[in-house]
Structure formats: structure tokens, C-alpha cells
Structure 1
Amino acid sequence: MSLLNFIDPENNDKDKESSDKEKSNRLLFSEVTTLFEQLQTTRSTLEKEGMIAKFLQHKKNQIVNIDFLFFYQISAKDFVNLEFDKETGVSIAIFLQAVSRHMKIDIDEINLRYKGDWGKTIMKYFSKNTAKKKSESLTVSQIVHSILNLTSYSGSGSQKRKQNEIISILKNCTPFEAKYFTRLILGGSLKTGAKDKLIQRAFLSAFSDLNQYYKQIEYANKTRRLNFGQAIFWYLENHIDKITELIMKPGHPVSLMLAERGDVEVVTSAPHFMEYKYDGFRLQAHYDGKKVTLFSRGLENHTDNLADVAVAFRKSVKESCIVDGEILAYNKETGDVLPFQSIIRRKRKYDRNEVAKTMHTEYRIFDLLFYKGKDITSLPLIERRGILEEIVTPSSIIQFSEKYETQDPEEALALIYKAKKEGHEGGILKNAQSPYLIGVRDKSWTKIKPQTYDMDAVLIGGQYGTGKRANMISRVFVSFPVDNSEDYESLGVAIGSGMSEEIMIQLRQLLESEGVSECPFNVRIANNLALQVNTWIYPEKGPVLEIVADSFSWKTKENIPLNEKNIPKTSDNDRYDLTKVSLRFPRCKGIRESGKKANSVQEVSNMIRSQLETLNKI
């Protein structure tokens, strides 16, 4: 069955010429958007679940279309048919050009109305610029086909074709339909508050007989990317037995197990393995007896990007298997562990050869999910690890992760600090008798990072967002007041994580009203960082932001962890040169209340000194 027929069993070609009777049996997009609006204004999750279940019971003949709309933003890549494993390729610019052409208005005028939600922006424009008619012809299947068409357009003239496709839908949209169509196409949340688990419960409530197959469906989803809607479709077509055929198999990405945050005291309950928590790239390696395929935690295929790892794994493994591990990068000259960002460069096609000259890559493997044609995740970790060490021969690229068995909290903590000193994030404590829980975050794996650093910094500039973050601040630049001076010194890093849309919009508005075009005279900042700033603000006018980071690092291309050999101090040797100091995993948690003072350069230097002293004690 083709993907097109799977999504729309009745075949959308009939839509344009179907009889009035046939149209009356089609699911209208207006019916779905009405449900979305009701969900958005309902707080209770139980009420949401009941509303969806009732809707589904009345629309069984269109169940797969409904599933597509619900799941497209949440799990668009969960179809068994990987024909759909791609994005629509519609940028905000392309979409706005289509709106501009359709409504004959200037794009700049549309941008002025944007307040953080393109769906609402377009809806308001439709409300003011189009007749408020109720569409009786726009069906869900037309929306589905439009999205499928958008994924297929490429090459010369594709942007114009995408615009025409979008216009063909917009011309039949009511304002509410335009709002949700916009959200679907641009990849943002539908903002209904209905998450995937809630929707699944609604399906099970609407089709109670399906409950007996739920565990099989969930397993197939996590091991073979079975979409819940396809399971419903098979159920309605009396082909539910097809689910049992979807078992774990090399070449099909598996949802990986994840660790919970916790405390070292967990080791007192049972024997645990302490493994290093790496600042790397999670990777699952599949070998089917003939070829190796590499998938990321996000289930993306990276075999071509990491071809040397694939070749090395093929040489090291003896049996068909699926292995879980992490890619690490090291500086070839110094042997220092490099952060995650370096591995991202390693995956980029155009950076690959250049990066390979200075970077050594290792694949540290720590678990075995599949062996000799069988799913072995139910075996205890100690057995899985034992088999793994039997069937894999280590090499310069393929290595086993560090593993220490302990039931002593003090020993576990010392090992975690040892990992930290060697440049890693911390440790993961794993119950030696625990199964591998596919796609689950569980306390049988406990991750521990020794310390985080909280600091209050002054905003001195921002970088404007693009794409979905247009009209927001996507990254902030911060500084700290120099003691006994009116000067400020910036960190050697821009911070783009942790901010809510509300904060990003608020900071953009502040910089638009108070911003200046040049770096304030009393701010010291690294030249390469200054080039990234779109708008500056005098630190006296900038708000104090709450910044959190896992640790400090030396500002180089690789962000090497600080140590005694590379401490960047000022000429008076009393404090550190913050322009040469970066942060590992920095997050901006929010804007501090009015009157809150920022940490001084000396106070931040004390934090750096504390980190070094902690590592030197180990």
C-alpha cells in the first residue's frame, strides 16, 4: 500500500469531482479546527481526552487523516513507510510570500503584526482582509495531500510551486482554518495542549478493543517507528496481526533508554556500574551480518557522516547486533576531550576533512540490545555487557565505555569527580540487574553531574533570530562589572538556550527601543564575538539575566576544559580574563527582578577558581 493510500484510503482524486453525497462523508478541515479550538480552551486533560475520543468515535471512516493532523508536528517521522521521512521544506519566507501574493499585501506589513505565533498573525489578517465565510469544501484529505506535495517539490522552480500549493489551500480557508494550516506547515505546535500520550489514550478510549494490543503497538513504535494511527488503520481493516510482525531488526532505529537525574545514594540499593557521562553524540550501531547502519538518538541515519566509524565497527563486530554508545572527540595533539559542538562540525559535509586533521573520533559502546536475531533488552545489564565484550574487538576507534562496579556512595562520587577531571560531564550509575527499557527514561540509570554554576550577568547585546525565531532575540551577550570600576567585561560565549519565547520577544523589544549600533565604550569583549552582535545596549540600561552553566572552559575553537596549564589570567594575575573563558552548556533561565545586582568579574573568577580546586583534589 502506498503512503498516499494509507493516509487517504478513499483517494483524494475524487475530491474535486465527488458528488454531494460523497462530500457529506468526508471529514471537513473546519470540523477538525473546531475541535482544536475547543481543546485549546479546555484545561482538564481528562476533558480533552474525552473530547478527542468522542470525536474519533463519530469519524471512524477518516481516522487516519485525523491521526496525521495530530501527529504531524509531534511524530512526523514515525511512519513505517520512510517515504515520508522528510520535511516540507517551507521556510517562513516562502510561506509569507504565498500569503503576500494571495492577499496582495506587503510582507513587511505582515511582519509588523507578528507577536510570537504565526498562526494567530495569519488568522487576524484573514479576519480583517477576507470575508468571514465558513468553508464547506476544504477537506482534511486536501490538507494532507497539500503537505505531501510540499515534501515532493525540489529543484528549479520549487519555491514558486510551494507558494502555489499553499495559496491553493489558503484561498479556501476561513480565518481559523488559516491559523491551524499555518501552524501545520511551519512546523510549530498546534497549541491545543493535547500531547501524544493524551491522544493515544483517547484512541484507546474510542476503540476499547485495541487496549489488548497496546503493549505490542508501543513496542513496534519504539523499535520499528510504527505510528499509532497506522495501528488504528490496521485494526479497522482487521489486519491487527501485522503489528506482531514488527520486531526489533538491525537497520531500523530503536528509541534509546535515557537516564534520570539522581543521587549517588542509589548505589546502596543494589550493585551498580558507574560509567562516564560523556559530552558526546549518542549513537546506535546496527549490523545485520552484511552492512553497518548508524542512527542518532533522534533516529536519524548518520552512516555517511560517520563512515570511518561504520567501517571500524564492521571490522570489530563478530555477530549481527544492535549496540548503544556515544561518539567522543579528542584533540589529536593534546589528547583533550572536545565538547559536543566539535562532533557537530565533524558531521558537516564541508567541515569533515578539515576537522579530521585535528580531531580523533572514538565510539564508546556500553550496551547491547539485539544479538543473533533476538531482542535481548530483557536480560540484566551485567549479562548484556558480558555478551557485548565477547562479540566486539576494540580498536583505535571502537572502545568500551569505562565501567566500575560499586555499592559505595563515596567511591561512586570519587569516580564521578575522576570523570569530571578527565574532561567529561560526570557519571551514570546503572543498576547491574536492570533490563534495557526501550524509549524510557528510568531511575535504574541515574545521571549525576557534580556541580552547576549560577551567575547573574548584565545584557550588553543580542543577535536576531531567523526562521521560527524571526522577530525575537535568538542569542544574548552578557558581561560582568569590573570591581571598583565603571567598566564591564564579557564572557567569550553567546547564550542561546533556555529562553522562553516570551523572554526572547521581550528582549527584542527592549533592544529595539534602547539599542545602539556600536559596542558601548565601557564594555570589553572579544573581537570575534563582537562581530556576531546585531544590536548593543549600554550595560547601565541592560537587565540582569540569570545564567546557568555546567562548567567553565577555555575559549578556543574546541572549548577545552580549564586546567592548570591554560588558566587565562589578567596582567595583575588576581582574576581571570573572562573574554577568554567560555561556558559548557550555558542556559539563560530568565530576567532577574528589578534592582538585582550582577555578579562581579572577581566573583566569577572565584567560581572558576572553585572549579579548579575541586578538580585538583581528586
Structure 2
Amino acid sequence: MLYEELVDVYEKIGSTTRRLEKEEIIANFLKTIKHKSPETTYDVTLLLQGKIFPPWSDKEMGVSTQLIIKALSKMLGENTKSIENKLASVGDMGEITEELVSNNKQVTFFKVPLTITKVINNLRKTESITGSNSQNKKLNLILELYSSASPLEAKYITRTITEKLRIGVGEGTLVDAISDAYGIDKEIIDRAYMLSNDLGEVATRAQESIGAVKELSITPGKPIKPMLAQLSPGIRESIEEMGEVVCETKYDGIRVQIHKIGDEIKIFTRRLENVTQALPEIVEYIREALPDEDYIIEGEVIATRDNKPISFQYILQRVKRKYDVEKMREKIPLKIFLFDVLYYKEPVAEQPIGQRRQLLEEIVHTSDDVELSTMKVVSSDNVGDAEELFNWSIDNGHEGIMFKDVSSPYSPGKRGKNMLKFKPVRETLDCVITGGLYGKGKRAKFFGSYLLSLLDSQTGEYKTLVHAATGMDDEMLASLTDRMQQYILSTNEQIVTFKPAVILEVAYSEIVESNEYEAGYSLRFPAIKRVRDDIGLDQVDTLDKLKQMIDLQNN
């Protein structure tokens, strides 16, 4: 199948802002390829998401913007500095690629039409290339594509590499389009996606039959998105609204999803990053604590000192560590609290949390290193037990408590009222850095203030909310400045625009209306608490979350 057919669909989708129209375009396209192979449907579904690997995979292309610039420079004879200046001005490497290829005066007489298979295979090959001369090998694979591409094809090849497709298609739109294209109820498609975390697999199954879609389920080795919690308005209010709930301690660590497949144990963060190599003792502890069966369990890894929890930032040092792991193991000891089981010999994620908790207690052999989360089953008759657990959790250095509807199944990637979190201070938001200002005086070489944004889940864009400068010590100021260099899109005197990539947790005293920021609101007395390397861009707080916070603030 020719790549230009998909590019034509990209252009049609990007030309409208109407979600239903986007859905219709995708559905019609999927209908036209029903007769194609399952592999084609799988690849098309991935490419419509701007991906070449499924979300559960930890594979990455490892192709930087600089390598794209180098490829274009080599092919077109354009100065790399000139391309970099264009990028600083335009901000979209895809548009720049289209413009440069359009202006190419060199004629290629033996262009071979690009196929979807060729594009995705070349890009996938970059992941496995390592060692000396690896950059040149990756360069040649990209050049091979650009050399045969039309300007429009080149634009979307670049956007796929940079994972910024810019056509305004979210997962919900694709779920609806697959449902429409194959005549299968949306709830069935949505369930299959939640449990498989692979829309490509869902689409190929839908191409086969409704029964094949229903067979999709959670599988050890393929991490799924974590179920997410809403904010609790208060202990009593939450319990009275939910009825009977599992109330458990909320730990200040890294949430992990642990998979055992055969003899292998893999540990994934909530961003679905494989951190197994960084946490060898957790692998050892889990192997001792659970039976020799296939399973998927969830827990929270915390850093300790004298067997007491210490700051979240210490666990980040462990998770991000690639070298000297054994040395860090001695310096920052870890333990894990388990709180859920999603698979044990068979899928159990759709069973109520009450049953899953009972199963967890049956299969886990606890120790000083592996414990179950401290919990109580409470209702409106014994709210005091929840308040007692909250006070105990805070006194012992933990974050707060969780409420889980005792009858609720696990809903991957969903944020609903079946799971709530309650902390003593709830005024924090996870925002992405989209801009910044250089400091003054001693801080003139550093970014002294950051422009922070929230996700508009309706459009997929980031809306500015606040400038934050306080809360950073000199060490954080310097390290964050170094880190942000790679994400600079443009610079205008003191003002810098960044590619959304780094997330900060920001504390504040109050949300106020503001015409200065795109969100329509801003934060009073913002203070940067920490870098959130444990979450991804799809988990940045949203404008909907902001409105929820406003409602809580006003009640």
C-alpha cells in the first residue's frame, strides 16, 4: 500500500477541527483497507497515532532532531545552521522538511514510490542499531526515505520520527473510528483497547470478527496504562458517595507494574518505561514473595533510610540510574508496597477490587522488603477508621490515603470516581514546561522562570497557566537549565519557547481568573515542588482537572 494514500488521509484529518469529521475520515479509510493484510491494518493504525511501535513497547527509534537536520543537509546541500534557524523560527520540523524538499533542485530519476511497509520498516530498523557508526547507519535509513519522498510525504515522515503528527487525533477518536469502520459497539472496542493497550491489535481483530476483539485481554509482558484517581473532596464525603470502599495508604514513591512471564520479571513505571535493570533488588524481593506463576501486580516502590520512607526525589535517582546500580543500591535502599493484582494465571483485572485484594493477600508472602499496602474496608458506619488511617499514614511519612469502590474493576487509563486520592495539601498540579525566561544577576546564565501549561484534552494542545520561579535551589536551577537546552524551539532575547517534554509539580495557594494565560486562569504563589519524571505527557494535568480544583476550592 502506497504511503501517499495515508499522507492524503493525514492532510484531510488535519484540515478540519471537527472531531466527528476526523472520525469519519479515519473510519472511511479503514473501510477501504479491509481487504488488505492484517499487518497493513496494524501499521496504518499505529501510523495514525504517529507511532511505529505500540504503546506497551519500550522500543524507541533513537533518532534526534539533529540527525534529521543532518540528513536533510546531506541530501539537499543545505547548511545545518540555516535549518536550525528555520526550526527556531517555525517550530515544526515537519513543515521545514516539506519546504526544503519542495525547493530541492536536484532531480532523482529513479525514485521508487514509498510504501507504508517501507516507511515503517526503515524507521523500526533504527531502534536496533547500536555501537560505533550507529548514527551514520540510522542516517542512511532516513535518507533512503527522504530521497524517494514527495514534499508532503517527507513532512509526515519527519513528524512521525519526532512523534508530533499535529493532526489532532486522540485515542478516543480512533476508538470511535474503529467502531464505525467495522460495525462493532464502541464499548467493546474501548474495553479491548484498555486491556491490550494496542489499538493496532484491536483494529486487526475487528477486521477479523467481533469475537476476536472480545478475546483480547490483559497479557503478562505487555504493560497497560494505570488506572488513575480523581481528587477526593474529603474523607466523609467520599465514603458516603462511594458506599463501601477499600481505604489504603498512599505512598510517596514510584508506582510500578510488575510482570512475570515464565522465568522473567519485568518492572514498568506508570509511563510504561522498563526500569527492571535499575531495580535489581525489587526483582529479587518479588521473586521470593510470589509463587512461580505468570502474574501482573501493582505496587509502590519507596526509598528508605533506617527503614523509614524518605523523599520521592531519592527514588527518582534510583529509577533513572543506568550505571553504578549496585553502589546506589547500598546508598538508597528500596522496599515495595503491593496494592493490586491484575493477572494471576489468568486475567483478573475485571474482577472487583475487593476480590483482587483478597487474591493478593493469598499469594504474597510478605517480608521487611515486600509488604501489602496498609488498608481498611470502610463505609459510612465506620468513617472514623478511615480518618484514623489517614492520620497514621501522614504520621509515618506517607502522602495520604486512597479510596477504591470495593465493587469496581480495574479500568486502565481511566480517571473516574471509582478511585479517589486524599492528601493533606491538595493544591498541586502537574504542568508541562512550554516556555521560560533567563534569570538576572547571578542567575543570568540559567532559566530563572518557567512558563507552565496544562493539557486541553479536547484539542490535544497545551494551554499556558502560570510562570513559576520559586522553589528551585541552585542545584535544581542548574540541572534543569542543562536539561532544557535540548528542547529549545526558539529564543527571542530573554524569552525561550520549549518543546513540551518536562513536567513539573507545582504547589499553589489559590486558582484565580486571568486574561494573561490561555487557560483563562492562573495560580497564586506558585512554587515548583519537583520534576515529575515518573509520568508522561499524556498524564499532564488537564483543563478539566483545573475546573475540578476550582469547584473544590469554591465549596
TM-score (norm 1): 0.65
**Structure 1 residues 428 and 525, CA gap change in structure 2 (3 angstroms):** closer
Amino acid at match of 1:31: E
Residue of structure 1 aligned with 2:304, choices 316, 325, 330: 330
| Structure 1 residues 173 and 249: alpha-carbon distance in aligned structure 2, compared to 1, 3 A threshold | closer
CA contact (8 A) 2:194 2:412 kept: yes
Partner of 1:392: 364
Residue 340 of structure 2 contacts residue 357 of structure 2 at CA under 8 Å; is this kept in 1? yes
Deviation at 1:65, TM superposition (A): 3.7
State the AA in 1 paired with 2:529.
L
* 1:176 aligned counterpart, secondary structure: helix
Q: Is the aligned partner of 1:308 residue 2:281? A: yes
Within 2, Cα distance between the matches of 1:254 and 1:35? 29
Q: Shift in Å at residue 113 of structure 1?
A: 0.8
Residue of structure 1 in register with 2:125 after alignment: 149
1:184 Cα deviation after fit? 0.8
Give 3-state SS (helix, strand or coil) of 1:191's partner. coil
> What percent of counterpart residues are identical?
26
1:357 aligns with 2:322: no
CA deviations 1:345-397 (Å, max 9, x no partner) are: 345131422322232211111122233x2333343323322232232121111
User: Counterparts in 2 of 1:382-421, with a 5 A limit?
Assistant: 382-407=354-379, 412=386, 415-416=389-390, 419-421=393-395
Aligned counterpart, 2:548 = none
Contact 2:42 2:204 in 1 (8 A): no
Residues 527/260 of structure 1: CA separation in 2 closer, same or farther (3 Å cut) = closer
Tell me the SS of whatever aligns to 1:253.
coil
Q: Does 1:190 align with 2:170?
A: no
| Match of residue 113 from structure 1 | 86
Q: Which of residues 225, 230, 241 is equivalent to 1:260?
A: 230
The question of whether the paired residues in 1 share the 8 Å contact of 2:225 and 2:413 is answered with: yes
Q: Which amino acid aligns with 2:169?
A: A
CA distance in 1, matches of 2:391, 2:50: 38
Aligned to 1:9: none
- Paired position in structure 2 for 1:180: 156
Once the two structures are superposed, residues 562-595 of structure 1 have per-residue CA deviations (whole angstroms, 9 ceiling, x without a partner) of xxxxxxxxxxxxxxxxxxx9724689x9xxxxxx
Match of 1:158 among 134, 154, 158: 134
Report the CA distance between 1:502 and its aligned residue. 8.5
User: What's the counterpart of residue 44 of structure 1?
Assistant: 18
Among 177, 200, 204, the alignment partner of 2:175 is 200
In the alignment, structure 2 segments of 5+ residues that lack a partner are 455-460, 486-493, 497-503, 510-526, 534-539, 541-555
1:228 to 192, 199, 202: 199
1:305 CA drift (Å): 2.6
1:169 to 117, 135, 145: 145
Q: What is aligned with 1:139?
A: 115
| Aligned residues between the structures | 476
494-503 or 197-206: bigger deviation:
494-503
Contact 2:45 2:199 in 1 (8 A): no
TM-superposed deviation, 1:329: 0.9
The 5 A counterparts of 1:503-522 are none
C-alpha distance in structure 1 between counterparts of 2:471 and 2:179, whole Å: 60
What is the letter of the counterpart of residue 166 of structure 1? I
Q: Is the 8 A contact 1:332 1:359 kept in 2?
A: no
In the TM superposition, what is the alpha-carbon distance from 1:136 to its structure 2 partner? 8.5
Cα displacement string for residues 253-312 of structure 1 (whole angstroms, at most 9, x for unaligned residues)? 344322122322121131223222223211123446755443333344433332211221
Greater shift after overlay, 409-418 or 389-398?
A: 409-418
Q: Measured at CA, do residues 417 and 583 of structure 1 come closer, stay the same or move farther in structure 2, by a change above 3 Å?
A: farther
- C-alpha separation in 2, matches of 1:272 and 1:241: 34
> Which residue, 235, 238, 251 being the options, matches 1:278?
251
Measured after TM superposition, the shift of residue 343 of structure 1 is: 3.4
Instruction: Name which one, 1 or 2, has greater alpha-carbon Rg.
Output: 1
Shift of 1:142: 2.5
Q: Which amino acid aligns with 1:257?
A: M
Would you say 1:549 and 2:506 are equivalent positions? yes
One-letter identity of the residue aligned with 1:137: P
Q: Superposition RMSD on alpha carbons, in Å? A: 4.4
Quick one: distance in 1 between partners of 2:495 and 2:221? Answer: 52
> What is the alpha-carbon distance in structure 2 between the residues aligned to residue 530 and residue 439 of structure 1?
33
Is the Cα–Cα contact under 8 Å of residues 291 and 314 in structure 1 kept in the other structure?
Answer: no
Q: Which amino acid aligns with 1:179?
A: K
* Equivalent residue letter for 1:364: F
Contact kept, 8 Å, 1:279 with 1:340, in 2: the verdict is: no
Alignment-derived partner of residue 574 in structure 1: none
Deviation at 1:340, TM superposition (A): 4.6
Residues 206 and 212 in structure 2, CA contact (< 8 A), matched pair in contact too: no
Instruction: Pick from 85, 103, 116 the counterpart of residue 76 of structure 2.
Output: 103
* CA-CA distance at 1:247 after TM superposition: 4.3
For 2:113 and 2:73, locate their aligned partners in 1 and report how far apart those are by CA, in whole Å: 23
Find the aligned partners of 1:366 and 1:139 in 2 and give their Cα distance: 47
Question: Cα distance, 1:339 vs. partner?
Answer: 0.6
Shift of 1:548: 6.8
CA shift in 2, pair 1:293/1:30, >3 Å: closer
**Could you tell me which residue of structure 1 aligns to residue 67 of structure 2?**
94
Equivalent residue runs for 1:503-582 within 5 Å: 528=475, 531-532=478-479, 549-550=506-507
Indicate if the aligned counterparts of 1:488 and 1:524 stay in contact, CA closer than 8 A: no
Distance 1:405 1:478, change over 3 A: farther
Distance in 2 (CA, whole Å) between partners of 1:161 and 1:348 is 28
Residue 365 of structure 1 aligns to a residue whose secondary structure is strand
C-alpha distance after superposition, 1:301-349 (max 9, x if no partner): 433332211221222224634322111112348x342215533434513
Q: Distance in 2 between matches of 1:524 and 1:339?
A: 16
Q: Is the 2:129–2:137 Cα contact (8 Å) retained in structure 1?
A: yes
- Unaligned runs of 5+ residues in structure 1 are 1-25, 456-464, 480-486, 508-522, 536-540, 553-580, 590-618
Aligned residue runs from structure 1 range 46-85, under 5 A? 46-62=20-36, 64-65=39-40, 67-72=42-47, 73=49, 76-78=52-54, 85=58
Q: For residue 296 of structure 2, what is the amino acid of its counterpart?
A: I
Aligned partners of 1:131, 1:489: CA distance in 2, in Å? 48
In the alignment, does 2:414 pair up with 1:440? yes
- Residue from 89, 93, 102 that aligns with 1:127: 102
1:583 is aligned to: 529
C-alpha contact (below 8 Å) 1:317/1:393 kept by paired residues: yes
User: Structure 1 residues 105 and 421, CA, compared in 2 at 3 Å: closer, same or farther?
Assistant: farther
What are the Cα deviations for residues 113-134 of structure 1, in whole angstroms up to 9, with x where unaligned? 112211112222333445899x
- How many angstroms does 1:250 deviate by? 3.9
SS at match of 1:148: helix
